[in-house]
Structure 1
């Protein structure tokens, strides 16, 4: 990455940091929600499914504005968290929250499809032997669905790396603090002579995204082979 300026380097590192935290923090609830949608039968299931996929339908700017209303210092959630030193608006932690919410539907969908592909009779057989629902999920469902979990996590990471609309609306575009790769590219394109810096970051973004997709395919296949015992 020789040739990158300090601002460009900061944007790359912050994007990697934000995407990694967004993926890690959204994975546990993503597993739970995906399993709930794949196996659960309860009133309001369609509503939950719609809410999960809402960030894919809404304009990202709308999502960012809703986050600002809720998690801003004057918002209902933000006002409760601020006395504990937890602030999201205009902080890198807010970029993590925005990226996690925007990437969550992709993660849940990939994991859900993988869980639905698991034969329910295997889970039922384990349950008849006395295993509880949590143990069945950990020992039967999760190992068999692991390729989808890996693919979902990596796709979520790639989506978080490219998140722009919700991020810039919720945490602005502060160099060194909240400026990620997409917002840095946008900033460089607004100033004369910034095209070279924007192009360097575009190349880095493309390389990271393609690498993530390739890694997703490779890891998913390796895990699938290991699970099947081949």
Structure 2
């Protein structure tokens, strides 16, 4: 049952690769946006919040099509990147990572924002009265306190990337060895006669990877929490 073919192994490896890059690439922006939404007071905050969470309510195919219009070879951003930096995202695995990052970004921001809002501001103020700069207060006080939320956001983003299908297949298609992730490979197997066994194998792999990610996240968050209590 778990004797995967080379193409199936490629789909597994590509999914993990895309998920990790999507998670890592969106993390700095996720922390920044979460901080702005949790602490910022500026005009357009509600609009920013709506834009960030828009991928959650839009059909994934719509999100993928918007990415294709923007980051495709003829799109304004895509043509600029291709002509000036030689970066092509459409129909490449990097485009799959971008699509997965966009789809998982609201989940990451939400988890980190809730963690920031739960921080006791008096701890930060106490550090400030001792002469610490805002950046140093964030690095030494706020960041350690919100670390469990950051870990949760990272895992949610990775899990979303592992299961993303609509936006990915619309933006980068379903090219074996290049953009065919686990969901795309499972979909392909369901469309061909006798593909049920392959679809089942990849489904079991998807469940195993997702469960492992959740278990690791829980263990890491628990260790962080215990360390903070001891300190």
Class of the TM-score when normalised by the shorter of the 2 chains: over 0.9
Give, in angstroms, the shift of residue 40 of structure 1.
1.2
TM-score in terms of structure 1 length: 0.97
Aligned to 1:196, the other structure's residue is in SS state helix
Give the structure 1 partner of residue 167 of structure 2: 166
CA contact 1:151–1:219 (8 Å) conserved in 2 = no
Mapped to 1, the partners of 2:214 and 2:25 lie a distance apart of 20
Give the structure 2 partner of residue 194 of structure 1: 195
CA contact 2:2–2:201 (8 Å) conserved in 1 = no
Question: Does the alignment pair 1:76 with 2:76?
Answer: yes
- CA deviation vs aligned residue, 1:61-111 (integer Å, no higher than 9, x gap): 000000000000000001101122100000000000000000111111111
Aligned to 1:213, the other structure's residue is in SS state helix
Give the structure 2 partner of residue 101 of structure 1: 102
Q: Count matched residues.
A: 230
Question: Does the alignment pair 1:155 with 2:185?
Answer: no
TM-score in terms of structure 2 length: 0.97
Give the structure 1 partner of residue 4 of structure 2: 4
CA contact 1:22–1:99 (8 Å) conserved in 2 = yes
Give the structure 1 partner of residue 204 of structure 2: 203
Residue ranges of structure 2 left out of the alignment (5+ in a row): none
Mapped to 2, the partners of 1:220 and 1:128 lie a distance apart of 30
Once the two structures are superposed, the pairs formed by residues 111-150 of structure 1 within 5 Å of their partners are 111-150=112-151
Give, in angstroms, the shift of residue 220 of structure 1.
1.0
CA contact 2:11–2:181 (8 Å) conserved in 1 = yes
Residue ranges of structure 1 left out of the alignment (5+ in a row): none
Give, in angstroms, the shift of residue 130 of structure 1.
2.4
CA contact 1:155–1:216 (8 Å) conserved in 2 = no
